């Protein structure tokens, strides 16, 4: 896990073209008063504009993109079991209209891997998992080193206060 002093320029070059090095997708969302980030095995963003207290893995609502929107090259790279997929959560201050990805108030990271069975076709939400479960269209990475419960507490508190979040997903293909 990292903090806001980490390399803030990591959100640059988010077009994910194959000649641009790592494949990258960025999803913007906002927190919600019911964000608790207590789930120990998943982390999720959804396009829904609501969240119940039972959604303890959801850390962002009103996501502007879903796995179905990701480029074909990105989705294909995620299907490599040896690829590393890094999810960087950049969070702004509560009340801000957007997060400044060059200087976020909070920053944290979860890394997982790809899998040949990832479909990445859901049009509503995306889920990162610590398990190897791939039997749905929402899973964006598996075998992660963390989940919602592992995110920084101050970052989670900001999301519970409605702060904006930018999720940067980067696929690093196996050598």
Domain range spanning residue 31? 26-172
* Mean pLDDT, range 97-109, rounded to an integer: 96
Strands (E), 16-81: 23-30, 42-46, 58-60
Give the mean pLDDT of 155-164: 98
pLDDT tens-digit readout, 70-95: 999 999 999 999 999 999 999 999 99
The residue behind tokens 């879903």 is 66
- In this structure, are residues 2 and 132 in contact, taking their beta carbons and an 8 Å threshold? no
pTM of the model: 0.89
Residue 5 lies in a domain: no
Q: Is residue 13 part of a domain?
A: no
Q: Is residue 135's pLDDT more than 70?
A: yes
Q: Is residue 3 in a domain?
A: no
What's the domain count of the chain? Answer: 1
Binned at pLDDT 50, 70 and 90, residue 48 comes out as: very high
Q: Is residue 15 in a domain?
A: no
Give the CATH number of the domain where residue 149 resides.
2.60.120.630
């Amino acid at each position: 896990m990292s903090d806001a002093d980490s390399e803030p320029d990591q959100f640059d070059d988010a077009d994910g073209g194959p000649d641009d090095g790592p494949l990258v997708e960025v999803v913007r969302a906002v927190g919600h008063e019911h964000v608790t980030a207590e789930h120990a095995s998943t982390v999720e963003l959804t396009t829904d504009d609501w969240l119940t207290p039972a959604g303890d893995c959801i850390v962002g609502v009103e996501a502007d993109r879903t796995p179905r929107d990701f480029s074909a090259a990105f989705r294909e790279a995620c299907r490599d079991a040896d690829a590393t997929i890094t999810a960087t959560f950049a969070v702004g201050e509560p009340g801000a209209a957007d997060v400044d990805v060059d200087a976020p108030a909070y920053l944290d990271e979860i890394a997982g891997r790809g899998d040949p069975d990832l479909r990445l076709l859901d049009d509503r939400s995306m889920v990162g998992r610590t398990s190897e479960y791939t039997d749905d269209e929402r899973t964006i990475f598996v075998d992660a080193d963390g989940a919602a419960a592992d995110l920084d507490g101050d970052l989670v508190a900001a999301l519970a206060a409605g702060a904006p979040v930018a999720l940067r997903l980067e696929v690093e293909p196996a050598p």
